[in-house]
Structure 1
Amino acid sequence: MNEFLVIVIRGVGIGSLYALVAMSLNVAYNASGVLNFAQGHLLVVAGVFSYRWLPEGAGLTSLQWYLTLVAVIAATALVGVVQGLITLLPMRREGGDHSWVATTIAASIVLGALILLWIGPQVVNVPNYFGSVELPDSRVPGSYIVLVLCAVAVWAALRWYQRTFLSGLALNALSQDVDAARAAGIPAMRYQLLAFGIAGAITALAGFVGGSAIEISGSRGTNYVIYGFIVAVIGGIGNNKGALIAGPLFGVLMMYVSFGLGGGLQVVTALAVIVVVLLLRPQGIFGRPHARRV
């Protein structure tokens, strides 16, 4: 029973981190049609920022902790905007609609190399500032619980923002039809860059809070974007509510595989899941089928 609780708590927590990555992918995708394959390395960048910038001994009762959180979110969002600009500019040329595949993969490689130059090949350990959850025979880091709260808060904040603010309504318009939004006078590029910045901020929050629950190294970014992408596909690409539900379910499955069969089978299981979902329900479990023009 105790092992089951550990699997569930850790799985829901790490799955919530994947849900945050999936939501960041959805934000950029809805505004621009781009699946940002560099998002996993942005998560690692945020973890490295947290490790480097947070003063030793700073905790939840310290103002420095909150100032560092703001700095990490702002810096990662800025990196996201710059990367978004590099991704979007080639798409404005004729025939450049699918150039984002190459540019986002290239950005992922460049970010991985910069991380390697910055911290070397070792794995960085970000401290857990949230205590632990006591179980009968073990304890689970409190960061897993906080990740769940962050995922719910981000989903609610995005929903409120997109329904309340003019810029949020503009992002909604872009998700419906970019050309129609441009025709209505919406500066598409500006709001698409805003979407990349928001996506970077979401990833930064995940990296800052969940840095103690994952491995922070230049080689791990690809894994995180794959898991986030799988959660996005399961939930339905562009569907944040679907990502919020699918993330913890996927996380529990991955944690069960790790505990029962070994961590080496996690990637195989993850790929099997996405293949099954795409075969049985291509629009995702929580997504809706799109009409196709003929």
Structure 2
Amino acid sequence: MTEEFQEEKVQASGWFRSLRDQIVAAFEGLEDGLQAGSFAHLPPGRFAISQTHREGDGGGGEMAVMRGGRVFEKVGVNISTVHGALGEKAQRAMAARGVPGMAEDPRFWASGISLVAHMQNPHAPAVHMNTRMFWTPHAWWFGGGADLNPCLEYPEDTAHFHAAMQVACDAHAPDYYARFKAWADEYFFVTHRGRARGVGGIFYDDLNTGDWAADFAFTQDVGRAFLPAYLPPVERRRDTAWTEADKDAQLVHRGLYAEYNLVYDRGTKFGLETGHDANAVLMSLPPMAKWV
């Protein structure tokens, strides 16, 4: 790798690790705080952290996963910093998106955080969040976002989540929220089912305004907005009484989520095509799901 952007790479990867630590602590706090409901008898969940590796000497990361907690049935908060040369298929995909110079120099560097939470209580919403920085010798950009995926929707939870995302966007550009909400609505649409996988949020990719510091600051604010957006809905729903019909609806919705991630998700495709740890790439899959 060249020395270009070395300081920026260190800043970005350090931020993603710091955000991971904040989220892990907050989620373990949710586990400790549940004192009632049908899952309160379980011990509070804790994250187990393991190392992940890309094929060869291509970097890696850490996979933090909690299973069988009071609030979270399964949640993963992964970080990674990987590098190397893109394969031919990934080069073509990048070139199709307008990334310059891929044919001449396929080197890349990427760092990010990726989170997916599947809940014990069907009334508590599942969620996805990721942010990342990508670098090649000819370009750099940021991408990511967050979207809420309830199986049983509460309009006030949807409104709260979107409002927090809008605050993060509005601090940087007046058109960001409308643009990135529309992008999320399009990106998280399950075409073969003819429906969205959840109630949306924001999504952005290939963000390069020419001002690295400004784009990094926006990406940090998206990360900072996640916990204020997500914790209140979970705290409201984590001990709500539920029925077997509610649980059935949750499992069917998880099937939809799994279909999306295996068929359409860019991150899943990129991770598997570039030789990253398959368990880390597929961390997003739910522990149990159902198809009708």
TM-score, length basis structure 1:
0.29
Point out which structure has higher relative CO (alpha carbons under 8 A, 6+ apart).
1
Larger strand proportion of the pair: 2
Larger helix proportion of the pair: 1
TM-score, length basis structure 2:
0.29
